[in-house]
Structure 1
Amino acid sequence: MLIEEIERRAANDKQDSRVTKCLYSFAVTIAEKSKEHSKRIIKQLPEFDLHDEVHLASVLSNLEQIIGDQALSSLSTYELFFLYTSSYLHDVGMALPDWELKAIEAVEAENEIYADEWKREFCSKSGGPITITLARQLVTRHANELYGDFERVRKWFFAPDSEEHLVEHLAQTIIQYQLFRSGFTKKLYSLTGEELRCYVQSLRIDFIRQTHHTRAYRYVKSLGRHITEEIMQPWGAAITHDLAEICQAHGEPMSYVEKMKTDAQYVGSETANLQFVASMLRVADIVHFSIDRAPSVLASEMQFLNDESFVHWAVKQQGVNYHVAVSGDVGKKTIKFRAYCTEPRYYYALHKYLDWVDQELVNYAKVSRRWELSFGKQVSERWSIPLADEVDRSGIDYDSEKFIWRPRFSWTRK
């Protein structure tokens, strides 16, 4: 529905349709490139629940169902573009290009006996991160080992726009990873052999997961160079900057969203409420917690290094699914979850996760009220989605022969 609405507007003969045609073409390209890029995630992070094309399409579907046809038709073309493309781009930071993986491997050489000699130069002698100046020098010195010819890097869809920016990005990644690992120094030096290898791999996975939203910002921000149409220059850089902020926002505190623009302007008279787009993306993303993201055929082949990853897969395999419906009682759209839990651990873990979903729904309700105060009811109406501020959990059941649910029961891992 989203891309079809943009396409319909692009077919118009109005002056603004030139801009819309450009946005439509760019959106289609982004979707195709993002789907291709997402295939790297399962290869690099096999423990993660699926962040592939299925997840991207589900986030888009969630957006379309939650917002609805009528509301979508009232949004600006820029808002439609941001909603569509962010659904495909928000997780691009989960998959790293080869040169960034090599930078991470250079940091991990600190725990390897037979690491390449050039990688050892990246090891911190103090236990904390090296300086940014030294990191830049090392990346430049070992450019051939890390990325080779920049012209090859430039062919990547998300490539930085200059070799200088690539060096800076790799230097920052090295420092961030060293800082992250410094909190686990004692444990790292207490392990050997296979235990050490597994722990190093587990730390890498956690680091990529915890920083993927800021990495997405870096990747998406560079996409402005792909908007070549004269009518959009130099606004391509501004558009992709705001798109990058939207993608980063899905992993930030709500205070980050509240500082975003509500009346961003580019070419033409239309504006975009970036807070609305970011809020909708956060809801659509977190809602996709279902069995299709953790197929049993894949889980049976895995050896989980991280207990959190295992629980996420196991909970989804309790038949978790959902749909968006209009509640007759309150007249609002309600997200209804269903599951049949066979173990208490998974039952309480699912409810804990749905508490986070509820918080995102509350976040949207709070920020939407501010738009009405700022713009008035008539203008803010296009961003007003009648969305219940908590999910419907009535479809979540459990095996009463195995355990009994107790109100206010607090489950903790033993």
Structure 2
Amino acid sequence: MIDFENALREWSNRDPQYEVLWAQWTYDKRLVSRALQAVGVLFPHYSLHDESHSNTILRQLARVLGPSRIARLSPTDIWLLLEAAYHHDIGMVVPDARKRAWWSNQPFKIHLLQLAESHDPDLRRAARTLSTRTFESLGDEWPFEVQRALLLAMADYARKQHPAMAEEIVETPARISLDSPRILIPRRLFQLLALICRHHGSSFEKTLELPGRESGYGTDEAHPRFVGCMLRLGDLLDLDDGRFCPTLIGTMGRLPPSSRAHERKHASIRHLLVSPKIIEVEAVCERKDVAAYEETERWLSWLRDELKNQAARWAEIAPTEDFGTLPSVGRITAKIEGHITIGEGRLPRFEVERDSIIKLVQGANIYERPTSFIRELLQNAVDATLLRCWNDHHSEILEWEKDLKNQDKALDNLRGILKNYPIQVKVTNPKKRSTISAPKGRDDYRFKVVIEDKGWGISRQDIHYLQQIGGSSKNQRKQFRRIDMPEWMQPSGVFGIGLQSVFLFAQRVVITTRPDDSPEILRITLRKGYRGSVGQILVEELDQPQARLEIGTTIVCEINMPSVPKAMKHPFDSPEIQAAFSDFDPVKDSTLLYKFALAKDEVRKFANESLCQLSLNGITLTSTPSLTGTTPQEQSSIEDSRYFDKKTNIEIIFANPNRGIFVSLFYRGAPLAREFQSISDILSFDVDLHFGGADKFLGLSRDNVRPDKKAWLNRRINKALLNVFPRYYENLRAQAEKNDSVNADELGAASLFAEVNGKHFKPHLISHQEWQSLDWIDGISLGDLVKFDIIELRETGDYSSKHRLEMSHDENISTCKITTSPTVSDWLWQLLSLKHQPTLIAAHANHAAHYRFHRVSGQLLAPLPDDAALRSALQLIVHPDRGMGSRNTLPCPRGFELLRIERSPPYVNQILFRLPLRIVCPFTIKPSGEISVPNIVDAVRWTARNAADESIQYTAKPPSKSTLALISSKMLELIEHINRLMDNAWSSRRAYDLEQIRRELGNAFGPEAIKPSIPQHP
């Protein structure tokens, strides 16, 4: 330091015009050194950033430049270096008023959210302590733990901002009561000093934006860019130990792990040489001290990069052309005892490429359905809508929060508001691609998906995050708006692969958007990059006349699909998939628009529990209180089956137990896998979770719960169920008293749940007398039912079957036979067992017995031995509720082995999966219920292609005419045999003509094709 200070003193003695610079410096030196002592108030756990640190910077820079080059510096340059060395960390002095202001602002709240996921356990614990604001678990020392948490969180927040705050203080010292005069030296030079201090925490490229030359105080020139680069280098060269003050550390207690690593970083320095010719650093960390090693290596990598960057741009940095060069870079390495390093001191480690993540998402089938990306885009639209809704209605929503009596109505109120922000979806235009543009083996159909929302839109600053995996969680604009929202209304939170997932299926995405905080309208075109990632992004600002002026976003993409997929899962609860599959005949058709149907089904499924109102191709998909996948008969019979529990932020939606006893999970309206273990095997309901971010407890695909969170989530859901059940049950009973529209099964199941879990409710929901008076069916109350001596329960195997009661009296013994569904049988059995002990007889009817399959030679379901079994299989295939597509297999009857096909033919339903010998059924059922024999000629050729007999089967060459005639003859014989077998059963449903079938086969394969090969069956 003496070299720089003496140089300025000599300039002052030699030329009186520079006496002002010397006077300002000597005053600031004493003033700022005293102020820097206050850094320890907020940073007792950091290395010293006081006068000793400033002096070390100046000493190291003196070593770098040497006496001869220091003498060549201008007075203003020397003054700037001295002042910058002392002022650059002055931003770490934070007044009390500023800390109080931070506590209430949104950026600090977002900072706490980010710290809650920090790798440093002390910072993570501090953030969670301050965020929950419940200190009971901290015991009697809670004031000290809260004080420590606040200090750690505030210090981490201030550290990231201290360069900018240093700039403010240099320009306006009064911000921290620093009485430094700004009278004789031009304000311009103090502004340059402020920028130099700010840029010590910026990138190297940003520092190069400082002026290269500037008029100095007197007749000299200043070189702010040179001073800024020297400050950065000197700061990095303060490496020796002794920078931590044990006394300061003692005032706060234990050091956080990150601070301990910094302390050991300085202690690890074994060799340090700084001279005008060379800079060398060698650090050796103790064995297994990986934390200290990584901190040391990170610091030395910054030093290596700074030296290389400055050397490469030295011509732009040096104050004069003949100023000489920087020192060369010698060995600057870090080692850890007992470990091997690679490259420039790096330990071997795993590194994940962005493109590899996309490839992993695709290859690992994280998205189970090929159109799951639509769900991701819809979730983005809902999140954007919620953010805008909060901006428009936050005062009204906060009033709901204050209304303690009606907090459970918050979601219903929100749904009412969101009707003004509908989301419109179009899935349209499946069209065949040109044969020229579709190479062999490529997808040859495409359809368009358009999603239009009235959400908050995408601004210019948001575009940066579009191409980053996980970028949305870093979006400050989004976090600012989200931070004050009630938890139950907050957007879902993302993993950041939603938009990326589109490029697994599309080549281009076009986004037209207008943000709600800007009048500009943007069109953003994203094109597929390498390995499915986002590649090129083009952004245009549209003129008002040609733009969509309404606030919100429209996303358009075209999805490629094969004319016939190689494989597909059949979600038979979907009308879209049923329609596509039912119209497809694999023996003839070459087009099955499965993915197109699946896309529309994805929208319908999402709309079931979405808070927002969705429409598909112009038709509103109304969200109702019913459960997903239920029929109207299976829905809850009370008017409002939704119950929101504000304590857990969980919504429970009850249903009729006739749908089956299962629980469906949703996360903020989006369906999840059914992985919930309820305390009840009696009630049927859905669960919609309105809390937390998706990354807190969901898997990467957002459709399943993380294994480590299942038990915790189960407990929370069960708590919500117990909280809302009294309201549901009282409404159920009240409606039953007004009229008889309440379903008896629902009331019975609820009564059993109330009885079993009565200990959880205060007071009990139901007394013994009330229980007995509940009507169940046909005017018979449950109290009357238990008076029977014998109660016989018989299950039908049909979950939607009606109840039947048969009552009899014989020799003073009363018997009641109840035939009902498995669900009702189960809860009724439990309920009766709880209250009374009548003689219960369980007579489980074998509802599969009519198949009449037998064990033969140890094989399950061997070829059917008789026509009765064949008749049973045919009845199953042509049942009106079959709904499984147009083609089915049949067990192969004796005498028709020639028609046997491969075990797993594509797109043919296997009604009996273990059947070793099968044929394709020539009969199909129309949507109207009529039975037909379509495409018989194609069915013959298809049977030849898929024949189990290798002597018949062909691939490249077509079968001979005689082979096709033989198969045709046998097929005709099977049709006629089945026609006789089902004569009475199908009398009113036939939609085929045997003579027409004979003519078609004869015309196609010749006369031999319609001759019987064996005597006809009697």
Q: Quote the offset at 1:79 in angstroms.
A: 0.7
Q: Specify the structure having the higher radius of gyration (Cα).
A: 2
Please give the alpha-carbon distance, in whole angstroms, between the structure 2 residues aligned to 1:291 and 1:342: 19
Partner of 2:134 in structure 1?
Answer: 192
Q: Name the CA distance, whole Å, in 2 between partners of 1:298 and 1:287.
A: 23
**Relative to 1, partners in 2 of residues 1:93 and 1:266: Cα closer, same or farther, differing over 3 Å?**
same
Shift, 1:83, TM fit: 0.9
* Alpha-carbon shift at residue 303 of structure 1 (Å): 3.0
Specify the SS of the correspondent of 1:354. helix
Could you tell me which residue of structure 1 aligns to residue 26 of structure 2?
28
8 A Cα contact 1:260 1:275, kept in partner: yes
Does the CA contact (< 8 Å) of 1:290 and 1:320 recur in 2?
Answer: no
The 1:320–1:218 alpha-carbon spacing in structure 2 relative to 1, beyond 3 Å, is farther
Contact 1:202 1:305 in 2 (8 A): no
**Residues 1:218 and 2:168 aligned together:** yes
SS in 2 for 1:189: helix
Pairs within 5 Å for 1:98-109: 100-108=95-103
TM-score by length of 2: 0.29
CA distance in 2, matches of 1:314, 1:298: 17
Deviation at 1:293, TM superposition (A): 0.8
Return the alpha-carbon distance in structure 2 between the equivalents of residues 18 and 216 of structure 1.
30
Letter in 1 for 2:305: Q
Equivalence for 1:228? 183
297, 303, 310: which one aligns with 1:364: 310
Pair 1:409-2:347 in alignment: yes
Gap runs ≥5 in structure 2: 117-126, 136-141, 174-178, 351-1018
Equivalent residue letter for 1:344: D
Measure the CA separation in 2 of the matches of 1:321 and 1:87.
24
Q: CA deviation at 1:102?
A: 2.8
Residue 207 (str. 1) matches residue 207 (str. 2): no
2:553 alignment counterpart: none
Report how far residue 44 of structure 1 moved: 2.4
% identical equivalent positions: 18
Q: Structure 1 residues 20 and 353, CA, compared in 2 at 3 Å: closer, same or farther?
A: same
d(CA) in 1 for partners of 2:51, 2:271: 18
In structure 1, distance between residues paired with 2:212 and 2:101: 42
- The answer for the alignment partner of 1:287 in structure 2 is 237
Residue in 1 that maps onto 2:550: none
Q: What SS class does the counterpart of residue 261 from structure 1 fall into?
A: coil
Counterpart Cα distance in 1 of 2:215 and 2:146: 51
1:2 maps to a residue whose letter is: F
Residue 337 to residue 30, structure 1, CA distance change in 2 (3 Å) = farther
Out of 314, 332, 335, which is 2:280 matched to? 335
Q: Following TM superposition, by how much is the alpha carbon of 1:281 offset from its aligned partner in structure 2, in angstroms?
A: 0.4
| In 1, Cα distance between equivalents of 2:102 and 2:336 | 45
Cα distance, 1:227–1:197 mapped onto 2, change above 3 Å: closer
Aligned partners of 2:58, 2:255: CA distance in 1, in Å?
Answer: 31
Equivalent of residue 322 in structure 2, options 377, 381, 385: 381
Partner deviation per Cα, 1:156-200 (whole Å, 9 max, x = no partner): xxxxxxxxxxxxxxxxxxxx5455446458944346324655433
User: Secondary structure at the residue paired with 1:323?
Assistant: strand
Post-superposition offset of 1:258? 1.2
Structure 2 counterparts to residues 40-189 of structure 1, below 5 A: 40-96=38-94, 100-108=95-103, 123=104, 129=106, 177-178=108-109, 180-181=111-112, 183=114, 187=128, 188-189=130-131
Q: Whose strand proportion is higher, 1 or 2?
A: 2
Cα offset for 1:411?
6.0
Deviations 1:59-118 (A, max 9, x none): 11111111111111111111111111111111111112xxx323313543xxxxxxxxxx
Q: In 2, distance between residues paired with 1:359 and 1:348?
A: 16
Structure 2 counterpart of 1:274, from 224, 233, 240? 224
| Alpha-carbon distance change, 250 to 390 in structure 1, aligned in 2, over 3 angstroms | farther
Aligned to 1:242: 192
Q: Give the conservation status (yes or no) of the 8 Å contact 1:322–1:335.
A: yes
Deviation string for 1:289-321 (max 9, x for gaps)?
221213567657763464322211232233566
In the alignment, which residue of structure 1 is the partner of 2:907? none
1:102 alignment partner AA: A
Contact 1:321 1:339 in 2 (8 A): no
| CA spacing shift, 1:249–1:5, aligned 2, 3 Å | same
- Contact 1:325–1:333 at 8 Å: present in 2 too? yes
Partners of 1:297 and 1:197 in 2: how far apart?
18
3-state SS of paired residue (1:293): coil
Tell me: CA distance 1:342–1:35, structure 2 relative to 1, closer, same or farther (3 Å): farther
The answer (yes or no) to whether the contact 1:38–1:53 under 8 Å persists in 2 is yes
Offset at 1:364? 1.5
Question: Match of 1:335, SS?
Answer: strand
In the alignment, is the contact (CA less than 8 A) between 2:311 and 2:326 conserved in 1? no
**Superposition TM-score, scaled by structure 1 size:** 0.69
Which stretches in structure 1 are left out of the alignment for 5+ residues?
109-122, 130-175, 327-331
Deviation at 1:18, TM superposition (A): 3.0
Q: Structure 2: which amino acid aligns with 1:313?
A: E
> Relative to total residues, which structure has the larger helix share, 1 or 2?
1
1:329 — aligned with what?
Answer: none
Picking from 212, 218, 228, the partner of 1:262 is 212
**Offset at 1:276?**
0.6
Check conservation: 2:112, 2:153, Cα contact below 8 A.
yes
Question: Structure 1 residues 95, 221: CA separation in 2 closer, same or farther (over 3 Å shift)?
Answer: same
Once the two structures are superposed, residues 194-247 of structure 1 have per-residue CA deviations (whole angstroms, 9 ceiling, x without a partner) of: 465543332101011111111110111136971434xx4xx2x11111011111
CA distance in 2, matches of 1:243, 1:106: 27
- Could you tell me how far apart the structure 1 residues matched to 2:241 and 2:109 are? 35
Q: 2: CA distance between counterparts of 1:319 and 1:298?
A: 23
Residues 294, 26 of structure 1: alpha-carbon distance in 2 compared, 3 angstrom cutoff:
same
User: SS state of the match for residue 290, structure 1?
Assistant: coil
Q: Which amino acid aligns with 1:7?
A: R
Rounded to whole Å, the distance in 1 between the matches of 2:133 and 2:331 is 44
Q: What residue number does 2:289 align with?
A: 344
Counterparts of 1:320 and 1:34 in 2: how far apart (Å)?
A: 32
Q: Deviations over 1:247-304 (max 9, x none)?
A: 1111111222111111111443321111110001001001112212135676577634
Rounded Cα–Cα distance in structure 2 between residues aligned with 1:206 and 1:274: 29
> Counterparts of 1:277 and 1:26 in 2: how far apart (Å)?
18
Q: Decide whether the 8 Å contact of 2:44 with 2:249 is kept in 1.
A: no
SS of the residue aligned with 2:273?
Answer: strand
SS of equivalent residue, structure 2 residue 340 = coil
User: Aligned AA for 1:360?
Assistant: E
**Matched pairs, number:** 320
Q: Quote the Cα distance in structure 2 between the aligned partners of 1:337 and 1:19.
A: 45
